[in-house]
Structure formats: structure tokens, C-alpha cells
Amino acid sequence: MMLPLLRHARYVLSENPVTGLAFGLFALFMVAALFGPLLAPYDPLQSNAAMALKPPSAAHWFGTDQLGRDIFSRVLVATRLDLTIAFASVILAFMLGALSGVAAGYFGGWTDQIVGRLADTIMAFPLFVLAMGIVAALGNEVINIVIATAIINFPLYARVARAEANVRREAGFVEAARLSGNGETRVLLGHILPNIMPIMMVQMSLTMGYAILNAAGLSFIGLGVRPPDAEWGIMVAEGANFIQSGEWWIALFPGAALMLAVFCFNLLGDGLRDIIDPRMRT
């Protein structure tokens, strides 16, 4: 089964350059996240007043900020923190949303009512404002940013999982599993959940971009990661104060990294759909 899927993945990547670009960007971001502190040419936290506000040059590819810190090093090191927040929040949202959504779609009744009303209540709020309120109440720590981002993404996973489980609960393979003596929990976790994983993987990729934007947005308004830690949203916020005076590079390069990350994960979702969806292999 894996060999035809790999062949199809190679075909999709070769026939769709945009999808290949997305996977290439993803590999680049993963290298930066894993090895960024080792690859950074300067200490991202070390200030140097004599080098403050220097434009891009051979010594400092992205220039320096108001404290003389190397922006390229800070953008590189910030990749790990931003992607960690995004991955952790998406995994948490998947665990909460997918499991509750599958249970709601499979069992129906009061389980469906509770999960549905909870998702509706969360979606009744402007999601970024809700994230702001959660972080403001819990404190602007990384773990609280992860929790807030997972909560606002919960309805997306719950609704998709509920719809997919509702369609499959009367399928032939589910009936065969029941007749084989499997309990409801085993049918749910061993048969229905694995069958909805492809579409959930696509959903996870698509919401990765939103999770990165949400974390950066919270940092931009002062409710996210605290300075002096290197984080894309903080760096854009700091650079915004210097745009009018001509130091455009302080906000441009972290903003470009943020844009490329969101662009990458949005395209990655489309590529995963083309690779995983059985209808695309006909």
C-alpha cells in the first residue's frame, strides 16, 4: 500500500511545481527550526549599540535592529519558537476536536448536542478576540498561547470529524467490525478514526498557518511571547516603529518569514489532499 502512495506522491510533486515548492519550503523551515541556533551567525540576544539600525550588508544580511542585534540570526532562531507553538496548538486542537467530533458523529444524542453547542459557543466570538481574552486571563506564557490557539481551532476539527464519522458509522466495514465482536470504543478508535485521518491531516496543515498568524498577532499586540525572545510577531511590532524613519528592514524580513510560513502550510494542505485523497489516484 505504501509503494503506490509513494509513487503517487512523486507524481504529484513532479507534475505540480507549486506543491513541490511548498514541500521544499517546509523542509527549509524544519531545518531552520531544528538547527537555527547552530546556524545563526550571531547571538540573537546580544546587543551592540555601535551597530544599531544598520541596513542589510555582507556582515548582516538582514541588517540590525535598534539594539544592534542581527536580524537574520533572530529570524532564524525565531523559527523554532513559532513552529513549536503552532505544532503544539494544532496537535492539542486535533486531540480535543477530533476525538470529541468523532464521538459526536458516531454516538449522536446528548454527546452530539454537547459537542455541537460547545463548538457553536466558541465560534460565536471573534476568534482572535477570544484568544486575546484567554491569554490575558491566564498570562502571556507560551503554554497559554498554545492553549488559546487550540481552543479557537477546536470547532474546525470537531465539525469536520463529526461530519466524517456521521457518514461512516453505518458503513459496511463498521458493521463488519461490530459483528466481529468489537466494542463501540474499539470500533470508534480502531476503525472510524483511522479512516478520517487523511482529511484531518489536511485540516492540520491548513490550520498550521492560522496558528502561526495567531501566535504572531498576540505577540504583536503585547500578549504573546515576551521580549527579548526572538519571535516573528515581536520583531514586526518593533520594526513598525521605525518604518517612517526609513529603517524598513527591521519589520520586512520577519514579516516575510511569517508570510512564507503561512503560504507554505496553506499550499502544503492542498498538496497533502492531492496525495492522500484516493479519488486523486484514479
pLDDT in tens, the chain (282 residues): 455 555 656 655 566 677 778 888 999 999 999 998 899 999 998 888 888 889 999 989 999 999 999 999 999 999 999 999 999 999 999 999 988 999 898 888 888 899 999 999 999 989 899 999 999 999 888 999 999 999 999 999 999 999 888 888 877 887 787 778 777 788 888 888 888 887 888 888 888 989 999 999 999 988 888 888 889 999 999 998 888 888 899 999 999 999 999 988 888 877 776 666 555 555
Question: What pLDDT is attached to residue 91?
Answer: 94
Question: What pLDDT is attached to residue 149?
Answer: 93
Question: What pLDDT is attached to residue 15?
Answer: 62
The domains of the chain, with CATH numbers, are: 2-44+60-281 (1.10.3720.10)
Question: What pLDDT is attached to residue 191?
Answer: 81
Question: What pLDDT is attached to residue 1?
Answer: 47
Question: What pLDDT is attached to residue 8?
Answer: 54
Question: What pLDDT is attached to residue 147?
Answer: 94
3-state SS track over the chain: CHHHHHHHHHHHHHHCHHHHHHHHHHHHHHHHHHHHHHHCCCCCCCCCHHHCCCCCCCCCCCCECCCCCEHHHHHHHHHHHHHHHHHHHHHHHHHHHHHHHHHHHHHCHHHHHHHHHHHHHHHCCCHHHHHHHHHHHHCCCHHHHHHHHHHHHHHHHHHHHHHHHHHHCCCHHHHHHHHCCCCHHHHHHHHHHHHHHHHHHHHHHHHHHHHHHHHHHHHHCCCCCCCCCCCHHHHHHHHHCCCCCCCCHHHHHHHHHHHHHHHHHHHHHHHHHHHHCHHHHC
Question: What pLDDT is attached to residue 13?
Answer: 59
Question: What pLDDT is attached to residue 249?
Answer: 92
158-175, pLDDT tens digit by residue? 999 998 888 888 778 877
